[in-house]
Structure 1
Amino acid sequence: MVTLAVCAEMVFRDRPIQERVRRIHDAGFQAEIWDWTRHDLDALARTPADFSSMTGYISGTLTDEDGAAELLRTAEESVKAAEHLSCPRLNLHGTGLDGRGLPVVPVTGEPDGPMRATAHRTLTRIAELGESAGVVFTLENLNTAVDHPGVPFARAADTLALVEAVDRPGLRMNLDLYHAQIGEGNLIELVRRAHGLGLIGEIQIADVPGRCEPGTGEINYPAVARVLADLGYDGTVAMEAWASGDDDLALDRFRAAFTL
């Protein structure tokens, strides 16, 4: 069976973050957070919540040497924060994102050869950091059409290729099916390929359009759940989605979509 988690940044938003993760825990899910620097880690650690994932850097980028050095530096800080919450996974993107989800260092067009070489070197060092600390860094695919224009290495195909090239247990893919549906589609074959390579660290979901819970859009998540069961996937599926209405109902719909 998969483990189900819920992003605390996107549900129960009228409540403090500590109460959000408590509500998520009480509903039977693990909890996820984004930028840990915005939260009181001591207060979060006092909750009964099990933390599944958190952002694994504060700033930096994969595309140039200075940005890579900053990403590595802040990844080391993030490892310490993850230890405080006993959080096993730390999430990365191709570059830092601002408050609107836009890249701090945007890239026009496809990343070139030197950018890819820098990304490969940086992710190898990130993987080594994860292995020495006993955590896994995950590289998330994003969509550039709606939410994150200008992010480098955003497509699932690019993210998967980088993780495959690094080929270290300290780096896996955060396969976000919401972003993949907007950017590429063909979700079931994408899941099969990533799972066949053994490179999925986590799967995140939301429906399209709207980025709300399963059942509010076009993605057939019960079909995805059946494929995951057939493949023997026993990792984490996390709902990184806004509640379309009632937050508790959104969590119930998520659970129902992945309960066979």
Structure 2
Amino acid sequence: MPRFAANLSMLYNEHEFLDRFAAAAQDGFQAVEYLFPYAFDAQALRQRLHDNGLQQVLFNAPPGNWDAGDRGLACLPGREREFQTGFLQALDYAEVLSCPRIHVMAGLKPSGIDHATLESTYIQNIAWAATEAQKAGRDVLIEPINTRDMPGFFLNYQSQAHHIIEHIGASHVKVQMDLYHCQIMEGDIAAKIRHYLPTGRVGHFQIAGVPLRHEPDLGELHHPYLFEVIDEVSAACGWEGWIGCEYRPARGAVPHGTHDGLGWLHPQG
């Protein structure tokens, strides 16, 4: 089986955020990820990681004003300085948390701006982030997101993300391959894993059941087979990354809601 990281933004919502680290560790997780750490002191987060024997494997750079509808800044002309300030803040947190990867959300396409301008802005921002991340020994991740959950998002397809990474030409810019988003937009998941993982451009996976984004043993994808494919290809190409469990427990935030849905992670027999 691959290595799994609990996404604390979605899992263990019956607990206050800082208490989710212990809950994840008690269920056997050795690593965590989440969306944004910036509402908490970095040292406090580091202490939770240390106390529970957990690794921080991923979080997102600041997305702009999330409550106002921002879903990232990287493709948005005129907001480059805000993007840079936010990414430097993410690097500060990554240093304290010993986190090797920072996901940079692309942003929503504004009306009245052509695709070429958005793509040029996006590439320039990611290239700038790559330079800063290289100094700090971090990877920059970009993630295609489906247009059903996030209408208007700039980056939607695996081929689009890999094309941009090839254009930038920095080995520490990688794709965050979320199989939930990929299934909704493209399908043919196993073939895409076999095609893209050996390239060295996949830095992280994420999973959720399709279509309702619940546990990976619910819905139309057969994750045990996909885990076998990841194991097989990883053994051949030397990939040693993590799979983030970024799903909404079907039982919601009731007590033990996340724990009771982990049968897929600890199969019997």
Q: Under TM normalisation by the shorter chain, which class is it?
A: 0.7 to 0.9
Residue of structure 1 equivalent to 2:16: 16
1:140-182 CA distances to partner (integer Å, 9 max, x unpaired)?
Answer: 110012x100111222222222122222122111000101111
Residue of structure 2 equivalent to 1:56: 61
Aligned residue for 2:117, secondary structure, equals helix
| Alpha-carbon distance, 1:42 to partner | 2.8
- Equivalences for 1:30-179 in 2 at 5 Å? 30-47=31-48, 48=52, 49-59=54-64, 61-95=73-107, 103=108, 106-107=109-110, 112-145=115-148, 147-179=149-181
Q: Greater Rg, structure 1 or structure 2? A: 2
Kindly, what percent of the aligned residue pairs are identical? 23
| Alpha-carbon distance, 1:107 to partner | 4.0
Contact 1:92 1:137 in 2 (8 A): yes
Q: CA–CA distance in 1 between the matches of 2:189 and 2:39?
A: 33
Contact 1:25 1:31 in 2 (8 A): no
Q: CA–CA distance in 2 between the matches of 1:52 and 1:251?
A: 20
The amino acid that maps onto 2:139 is V
Contact 2:146 2:185 in 1 (8 A): yes
| Distance of aligned partners of 1:85 and 1:129 in 2 relative to their CA distance in 1, 3 Å threshold | same
Q: Structure 1 regions of 5+ residues with no counterpart? A: 96-102
Aligned residue for 2:240, secondary structure, equals coil
Q: Structure 2 regions of 5+ residues with no counterpart? A: 65-71, 252-256
| Alpha-carbon distance, 1:54 to partner | 0.7
Scaled by the length of structure 1, what TM-score is found?
A: 0.87
| Distance of aligned partners of 1:84 and 1:212 in 2 relative to their CA distance in 1, 3 Å threshold | same
The amino acid that maps onto 1:53 is L
Q: CA–CA distance in 2 between the matches of 1:68 and 1:144?
A: 24
| Alpha-carbon distance, 1:183 to partner | 1.1
**Matching residue within 244, 259, 262 for 1:248:** 259
1:42-92 CA distances to partner (integer Å, 9 max, x unpaired)?
Answer: 322111332111112342523244223321221011110111211111111
